[in-house]
Amino acid sequence: MNRPLPFAAAALLLAAFAPSQDVVAVKGGRILTITGPTIDDGVVLIESGRITKIARTADVEIPWTAKVIDATGKVVMPTWVVAHSQAGQRGLNENMQNVPWLSVADAIDPAATYFEDALRNGVGTIHVLPGNQTLLGGTGMVVRPAGRTVEDMAVAANTGIKLSLASSGGGRLQQIRRLRRAIEDVREYLADFDRRKAEFDQEQAAGAIPADKTWTEQIDRTKKAACDLVQKKTKGWLFVPSAAELDEALRLSQQLDLVLVLGANIDEGVMLLTKLAQPVVLDDEIEYYETDEETQKEHKVCTAKLLADAGVPFALSLGLGGPTSYPWWQLGTCVRNGVDRRLAIEALTTVPARLLGLQDQVGSLSEGKLGNLQILTGDPLQATTWVETVVLEGNVVYQRSEDPKLKYLFARDKDMAAKAAADKAKDQAKATDDAADGDPANRPPAKAADGGGDGPAPKRDGDGKQPNDGGAR
Amino acid sequence: MRRLPPRAVLGPALLAALSATCGLARAQDVLLGARRIVVAADSVLDDGRVLIRQGKVAYVGSDIPAEARARARRVDYGDATVVPGFVLAAATLGQERDLAERALPFTPDLRAAEAFDPWHEDLLALPQYGVTSLALAPAPGNVAGGLAALVKTGRDRGTVGADLFVSLSLVPAARDQERPPTSLMGAVELLRSACDAARTGAATGPDAAVLRQAMQGTRSVFVYADNFAELNAALDLARDFGLRLVLVGAADAGKVLPRLAQQQVGVVLDSLGPEARLEQLQLPTRLAEAGVAFCFAGRPAQLRLSAALAVHHGLDRKTALQALTRVPAALLDQAATIGSLRQGCAADFVVFAGDPLDLGSAWVATWVDGELVHGTSPAASPGPQPAAEPAADAGVR
Amino acid sequence: MNLRLPLALLGVLTLGSALAAQQQTTVYTGARILPGGRPAIDNGVLITAGGKILVVGGASTAVPEGAVTVDCAGRTITPGLIDASFRGGAAPNDLNEQGEEVTPQVRVLDSLDPEDRSFARARAAGVTTVHVMPGTRNVIGGLGCVVKTFGSDPAAMVLKDAASLRIVMGAEPSMGNRAIRGGRVDSIYYRRPTTRMGVVWEVRKAFYEAKQALELTLGAAAPPPSPGRDVLARVLRGELTAYTTARSEQDIRTALRIAGEFGYQTVIEEAQDAYLVADQLAAAKVTVLLGAPSAAQVTGPAGADGADPRYATARMLADRGIPFVITTGSNAAALDLVREAMFAVRNGVAPAMALDAITVAPARLLGLDDRIGSLAAGKDADFVVWSHDPLDPAAVAVSVHIDGKPVTAPR
């Protein structure tokens, strides 16, 4: 952990992951711009990683130098934006509770299967934050799920500090008390710092300190992030495990610039949330059964629907595997429960983009924004729809036809399974060679993402068996 | 080695003191009088008299011969109300460990009578709750637990009588263990195959004999069952094998009411308390409306409370009192001797300052077999009384 | 508990009016009808009376006079779904009789609790009939039953009381078993088998004894009757179908081998590795139950028993003509049955075939296709009115009917 923090000052870093210098034209698809009108048979032009034009094919002259991606008969839309994720890290929860000086930049594992799956699902922007079992838990960063190193993946650093009301040992009240105490400590430190500085100035004015001497003391490095939070210079992302902690969360959000990250069981507290100015982030489990304690009757609850009815804007989260990891499933769940389709789509695009302060970069397709888009085989809310291609800043980072894991899962007999496994093994060998080269530039980022070894095939290989070697199991 | 309860220290002195009056009382008739004597739920004497001879009710009200009336020792409780002693249709008296054979799931021929502990504290406390008889039943820890025994509470210790019903159990306690059966279907299968084997004669021995008595209807079958699935399983068994069924516990009885009425099944309910849910509190009324015979068991201290709560939730008082007296006696096939104060029945009765279903009425005394076993006796005059009493002082209502 | 309201409504209210309501002829018009096993009917008409289907036809179907008409324009009507391997129905403890490892004679019907929450959940998801089998902790678990998901008591729900015999391959029956080393000597955990070969040995031994007894019965000295052996004898005589739970390739092969050895018919349940043994499955002419296709996740092999589920399986079985049925199976994370079919469609199965795999196909497998699983005159009026195409993730069951009666709260 001696790696220096490269992101200390920059709000937006785009240096490491080079936007494609090519002109890219995605042509012929039905374009869902989200914020603007839908265009049938349109073209999206991307130059130097940014969208320069969106229009009907008939109205655009595609430069002859452009790399054309044919999307005829397909759906083109922005990649999904995830406002809060704990995944893709190693050791996401520090044992120590009060660690605001940490950064997820040191925990993110670019090889994690999570990022590979995210791309496969059309996710282009992920806000990674420390885990929920914390108090003041360190700062997060926004990444794209493509790249060999954290620097490659970085979209924005210092995106806010994680706070949590989830008690880790001790009760709910104790956690609340500890969090208040921790914030109070920071305030006291700041007040003390200011007092000493004022004294210095006073003494200097009185001549007790030479005039050429300047105040050199800086805010303690370990306290800097927390001070920013208290001074409302940075956002806090507060995890609220259940409706019971909502009161305290609302109190805290009056003092600090907070985004509430809700646990699953918040159906009883929905009306409290109407007081908030900011959208909230929902848990990935948005549909569950609730039992009435008196009558013992069960009924289904959909938190997204409750929030939509209460007029509370929200961002959706994606689960880690299982149906909730699929954006189409999450959106389908919303619509199934009566949430307006548009509102549901916004909850994975424009709302999280706004929460991250990236509304001018991601979440919708319009001229000037980043060239992040996905090409789908059909409507984004259909189960039969697959992500064909993902483009991030003009770079094609995912193609379904070359996805080794899907090849493996769709292998229909031994021979095909063997071939898929062999391909994958070859791919990995290459990844290892590349890693040895130490030159990330000569490797497309998408392949870097699947070289981690968490996929199904490596797991089987770990047993010393080939996946087709069924009889030996 | 029997552990002597602390009371045993006082015992000898007490016994000595009491035996004098006791012997006297046995020999002499007792003329019981009170403002209100409930002979049975449908027969109440106002300002009535009951003549007790040899521990049994000899005459009631106007049937009492004048000559016997004159000779009897008079016990007059004044303004109090006398009701038949309460009957507990199934009780384990805190002896669960002795009343369930843990290693074997199927022991229909074990006798609870052999586990009877006359010195058990719970037994000694029963008279003050109005309980004068009970069925000491095998605990619900076995699929077939054994035979219950009739126990009468008495002065300082009880006495054990005849074997009663065979006790079966389908509740989790009987199957949720580290020995077979572990599931409801396993328990049902065990009973079904045992009954089949007993019926066809493939099985012999004392356990099969007990099951044959049950299938012939000479012995009733009490089944611990609470939820819907268990109740249905018990009702199916009773239907398939012609058992005379009484359900014990039966928390979900409200869901099988038509079957209970149709199969003429009795129900022994758990006692009610302040913590009971509305559904439980209303269950007695629903059973009564469906014509299902039921009684209360469970915690002896809550018997009166149970009846009072049921009354509060719509049960009529007569049925509530029967649920403590005549119905449990009938479910035990003992209605001829206990559960009422009709002629020929045991003189088991409880004296309350007022209506026993009114919780404000203080308990005064409990008598078993014509003897005061707990509580206070009114100033009794042993000698013959002047025959100034009106001859027909009480009309049978 | 969930049954109480409908029960109160249907049971406690005067029986007469309930009967009248059931006898009432009802016409559902305007919906797209997917009758199951036949082509879809757009703007179709479904007429029910007395708990049975009178007519299924196109828009021009004559409507009897005095019938109640329900407008279903824009909706889709399918047969009530059938879950051929349903893990609910009773408390989990009551689904496994763990006293012995081989308990062919226990009937899961005895454990069934009509008020179990799983029934209400299944109903709300459009499932009108389920096949409940004993749990997977025993080598031979006992007799499964087929019940509708609504009824006042088990007897009122039952379609088939002894529908199947459950046999389990793999690691589950041996899990937790151990040799006696102190402790409670009568513990059920001191038992065989403790290995996979032990599991197979138990099955073989049971069937061997049953076969011996069967052969002896034909001769002079009949052995004493034994309820367990009698059940196995029925399997051997082809009167009862075995359902063998086998997930990995090895277990599927073993299941097929033992069935072949003793000559009985089996269904392979769960069958996650079916794609690896397609030839054998086709040769043995078995039906395959696919438990929770959604569980084959992107994040890695989700299979128990060392199985390696693939997306390709359902489509491959369809292409090879191996009959398959989609179920929720023993997977605790299984989704609603219709969503499981949806995942099969996502992975390449034709929508009509996926729907058949949760309606007609399970009805045929359970021998109940004359009553349920498709919409045709004379069959039980078990059907679901969906908001639109049920294979859309946003679709909901608007109303679910069993024997013509609506069994879910209106939405």
Convert the pLDDT of each residue in C286-338 to its tens digit.
Answer: 999 998 888 755 333 445 677 888 888 999 999 999 999 999 988 778 899 99
Distance CA C42, CA C26 (A): 19
Torsional class of C78: left (φ above 0), alpha (ψ -120 to 50), beta (otherwise): beta
Q: pLDDT tier at B276 (50, 70, 90 boundaries)?
A: confident
Tokens for A54, please give them: 């969106």
Residue B381's beta-bridge partner residues?
Answer: B74
Identify the pLDDT of residue C123. 94
Identify the pLDDT of residue B346. 93
How many contacts does B have with C, using Cβ atoms within 8 A? 94
> For tokens 């009115």, what's the residue?
C385
Contacts with C148 (C-beta within 8 Å, 6 or more apart), sequence order: C128, C129, C130, C157, C159, C382, C402, C403
Assess A321–C contact: CB distance below 8 Å, yes or no: yes
Indicate if the pLDDT at residue C185 is higher than 60: no
Q: Evaluate the omega torsion of the peptide bond into residue B181 and state whether it is cis, within 30 degrees of 0.
A: yes
Find, among A405, A328, A373, the residue nearest to A125 by Cα.
Answer: A373
Indicate if the pLDDT at residue A433 is higher than 70: no
Assess A455–C contact: CB distance below 8 Å, yes or no: yes
Strands B73-76 and B30-40, by their bridges, are parallel
Q: pLDDT tier at A66 (50, 70, 90 boundaries)?
A: very high
Is A312 found in the same domain as A226?
yes
- C310:A411 CB<8 A: yes
> For tokens 């998901």, what's the residue?
C149
Residue A147 lies in a domain: yes
* Rg over CA atoms, chain B: 22
Identify the pLDDT of residue A113. 87
Question: Looking at A373-443, which runs of residues are DSSP E strands?
Answer: 373-376, 387-392, 395-399
Indicate if the pLDDT at residue B9 is higher than 60: no
pTM for this one? 0.81
Convert the pLDDT of each residue in C122-178 to its tens digit.
Answer: 999 999 999 999 998 889 999 999 999 998 777 788 999 999 999 999 888 877 666
- A329:C296 CB<8 A: no
Among A160-174, A411-425, A431-445, B127-141, the minimum mean pLDDT is found in: A431-445
Helix (H) or strand (E) holding A256: none
- C106:B186 CB<8 A: yes
Distance CA A65, CA A52 (A): 15
Distance CA B160, CA B162 (A): 7
Note whether A93 and A136 are within 8 A (CB). Answer: no
- From chain C, the residues in CB contact with B179 under 8 A are 99, 186-188
Distance CA B57, CA B67 (A): 16
Convert the pLDDT of each residue in B157-173 to its tens digit.
Answer: 778 888 899 999 999 98
Of B172, B181, B229, the CB nearest to C97: B181
Q: pLDDT tier at C238 (50, 70, 90 boundaries)?
A: very high
Distance CA C5, CA B390 (A): 60
Mean confidence (pLDDT) of chain C: 86
- C107:B236 CB<8 A: no
Convert the pLDDT of each residue in A110-145 to its tens digit.
Answer: 988 899 999 999 999 999 999 888 888 889 999 999
Is A309 found in the same domain as A446?
no
Identify the pLDDT of residue A293. 74
Is A412 found in the same domain as A455?
yes
CATH of the domain at A38: 2.30.40.10
Q: Mean per-residue pLDDT for C107-113?
A: 91
Identify the pLDDT of residue A285. 92
Is A237 found in the same domain as A89?
yes
The C-alpha of C269 sits at a distance from chain B's nearest C-alpha, in angstroms, of: 22
Cα–chain center distance at A289? 27
Identify the pLDDT of residue C397. 95
Distance CA C349, CA B301 (A): 66
Find, among C85, C65, C17, the residue nearest to C269 by Cα.
Answer: C85
- B186:C103 CB<8 A: yes
Of B182, B188, B193, the CB nearest to C93: B182
Indicate if the pLDDT at residue C401 is higher than 80: yes
Is A154 found in the same domain as A65?
no
Mean confidence (pLDDT) of chain B: 85
Q: Mean per-residue pLDDT for A246-254?
A: 91
Query: Mutation test of the interface with chain C: which of A384, A454, A468, choosing the one with the most C Cβ atoms within 10 A?
Result: A384
CATH of the domain at A284: 3.20.20.140
Higher pLDDT, residue C346 or B101: C346
Assess A63–C contact: CB distance below 8 Å, yes or no: no
Question: Looking at C229-338, which runs of residues are DSSP E strands?
Answer: 241-246, 266-270, 288-291, 324-327
Identify the pLDDT of residue C189. 61
Higher pLDDT, residue A413 or A338: A338
The C-alpha of A73 sits at a distance from chain C's nearest C-alpha, in angstroms, of: 18
Residue of C nearest to B190 (CA): C106
- From chain A, the residues in CB contact with C333 under 8 A are 322
Distance CA B271, CA A24 (A): 80
- A289:C121 CB<8 A: yes
Q: pLDDT tier at A307 (50, 70, 90 boundaries)?
A: very high
Residues 280-299 (A) with a CB less than 8 A from some CB of C: 289, 295-298
Indicate if the pLDDT at residue B315 is higher than 90: yes
Of C273, C301, C346, the CB nearest to A384: C346
Domains and CATH numbers, chain C: 4-80+376-406 (2.30.40.10), 81-365 (3.20.20.140)
Distance CA B253, CA B246 (A): 12
Is A453 found in the same domain as A350?
no
Residue of B nearest to C90 (CA): B229
Is A299 found in the same domain as A440?
no
For the beta carbon of residue B387, count every other beta carbon within 10 angstroms: 10
Indicate if the pLDDT at residue B43 is higher than 90: no
The C-alpha of C305 sits at a distance from chain A's nearest C-alpha, in angstroms, of: 10
Of B182, B227, B256, the CB nearest to C113: B227
- A473:C249 CB<8 A: yes
Contacts with A267 (C-beta within 8 Å, 6 or more apart), sequence order: A243, A290, A301, A303, A306
HSE-up of residue A285 (Cα within 13 Å, Cβ side): 13
Assess B103–C contact: CB distance below 8 Å, yes or no: yes
Q: What are residue C250's phi and psi, to 5 degrees?
A: -60, -45
Distance CA C309, CA A456 (A): 10
- From chain A, the residues in CB contact with C336 under 8 A are none
Identify the pLDDT of residue A415. 61
Residue A13 lies in a domain: no
Note whether B117 and B1 are within 8 A (CB). Answer: no
Assess A329–C contact: CB distance below 8 Å, yes or no: yes
Assess A327–C contact: CB distance below 8 Å, yes or no: no
Query: Mutation test of the interface with chain C: which of A382, A385, A407, A459, choosing the one with the most C Cβ atoms within 10 A?
Result: A382
Identify the pLDDT of residue B277. 86
Is A468 found in the same domain as A351?
no
Convert the pLDDT of each residue in A89-104 to its tens digit.
Answer: 887 666 667 888 888 8
Mean confidence (pLDDT) of chain A: 83
Distance CA B362, CA B354 (A): 7
Find, among A351, A258, A338, the residue nearest to A306 by Cα.
Answer: A338
Distance CA B187, CA B175 (A): 7
- From chain A, the residues in CB contact with C115 under 8 A are none
Indicate if the pLDDT at residue B15 is higher than 90: no
Q: Mean per-residue pLDDT for C205-219?
A: 82
Identify the pLDDT of residue A278. 86
- From chain B, the residues in CB contact with C137 under 8 A are none
Convert the pLDDT of each residue in C18-76 to its tens digit.
Answer: 445 557 899 999 999 999 989 999 999 999 999 999 999 999 989 888 899 999 999 99
Distance CA C385, CA C34 (A): 10
Architecture of domain B7-85+341-375: Roll (2.30)
Distance CA A427, CA C274 (A): 28
Identify the pLDDT of residue B59. 92
The proportion of chain B whose per-residue pLDDT surpasses 90, expressed as a percent, equals: 58
Assess C370–B contact: CB distance below 8 Å, yes or no: no
Question: How many domains does chain A divide into?
Answer: 3
Indicate if the pLDDT at residue B322 is higher than 90: yes
- From chain B, the residues in CB contact with C105 under 8 A are 189, 193
- C346:A467 CB<8 A: no
In chain B, CATH 3.20.20.140 covers 86-331
Identify the pLDDT of residue A417. 59
Identify the pLDDT of residue C227. 83
Find, among B98, B138, B89, the residue nearest to B120 by Cα.
Answer: B98
The C-alpha of C396 sits at a distance from chain B's nearest C-alpha, in angstroms, of: 30
- From chain C, the residues in CB contact with A331 under 8 A are 393
Which chains reach chain B with 3 or more Cβ–Cβ distances below 8 angstroms? C
Identify the pLDDT of residue A406. 87
Identify the pLDDT of residue A416. 61
Identify the pLDDT of residue A3. 38
For the beta carbon of residue C62, count every other beta carbon within 10 angstroms: 9
Of C5, C298, C301, the CB nearest to A120: C298
Chain C residues contacting A, CB < 8 Å? 1-2, 5, 117, 120-121, 124, 248-250, 253, 273, 275-278, 294, 296-301, 306, 308, 310-312, 315-316, 333, 335, 339, 342-343, 345-348, 391-396
- From chain B, the residues in CB contact with C97 under 8 A are 180-183, 185-186, 189
Residue C81's beta-bridge partner residues?
Answer: C127
- C300:A384 CB<8 A: no
- From chain C, the residues in CB contact with B186 under 8 A are 97-99, 103, 106
Of C124, C299, C345, the CB nearest to A321: C299
Q: Evaluate the omega torsion of the peptide bond into residue C193 and state whether it is cis, within 30 degrees of 0.
A: yes
Q: pLDDT tier at C92 (50, 70, 90 boundaries)?
A: confident
For the beta carbon of residue A20, count every other beta carbon within 10 angstroms: 18
Assess B204–C contact: CB distance below 8 Å, yes or no: no
CATH assignment of B86-331, among 3.40.50.1100, 3.40.1010.10, 3.40.50.720, 3.20.20.140: 3.20.20.140
Find, among B386, B337, B317, the residue nearest to B36 by Cα.
Answer: B317
Assess C162–B contact: CB distance below 8 Å, yes or no: no
Residue A15 lies in a domain: no
Indicate if the pLDDT at residue B5 is higher than 50: no
Q: pLDDT tier at A408 (50, 70, 90 boundaries)?
A: confident
Is A302 found in the same domain as A225?
yes
Torsional class of A164: left (φ above 0), alpha (ψ -120 to 50), beta (otherwise): beta
- C188:B189 CB<8 A: no
For residue C160, with 0-12 CB atoms within 10 Å meaning exposed, 13-18 middle and 19 or more buried, which class applies? middle
Is A468 found in the same domain as A370?
no
Distance CA B385, CA B127 (A): 30
Indicate if the pLDDT at residue B27 is higher than 80: no
Q: Mean per-residue pLDDT for A162-185?
A: 86
In chain B, CATH 2.30.40.10 covers 7-85+341-375
- Domain encompassing residue A424: 403-472
Distance CA A126, CA A283 (A): 15
Indicate if the pLDDT at residue A457 is higher than 60: no
- From chain B, the residues in CB contact with C94 under 8 A are 175, 183-185, 229
Helix (H) or strand (E) holding B164: strand B159-169
3-state secondary structure of C256: helix
Is A418 found in the same domain as A290?
no
The amino acid occupying position B99 is: L
- C299:A117 CB<8 A: yes
For Cα atoms C106, C107, C110, give the angle at the middle one, nearest 5 degrees: 115
For the beta carbon of residue C156, count every other beta carbon within 10 angstroms: 11
3-state secondary structure of B299: coil
Q: pLDDT tier at B94 (50, 70, 90 boundaries)?
A: confident
Question: Looking at A172-308, which runs of residues are DSSP E strands?
Answer: 236-242, 258-265, 280-281, 287-291, 298-302
Is A241 found in the same domain as A389?
no
Indicate if the pLDDT at residue C210 is higher than 70: yes
Of B178, B228, B233, the CB nearest to C110: B233
Indicate if the pLDDT at residue C12 is higher than 60: no
How many contacts does A have with C, using Cβ atoms within 8 A? 109
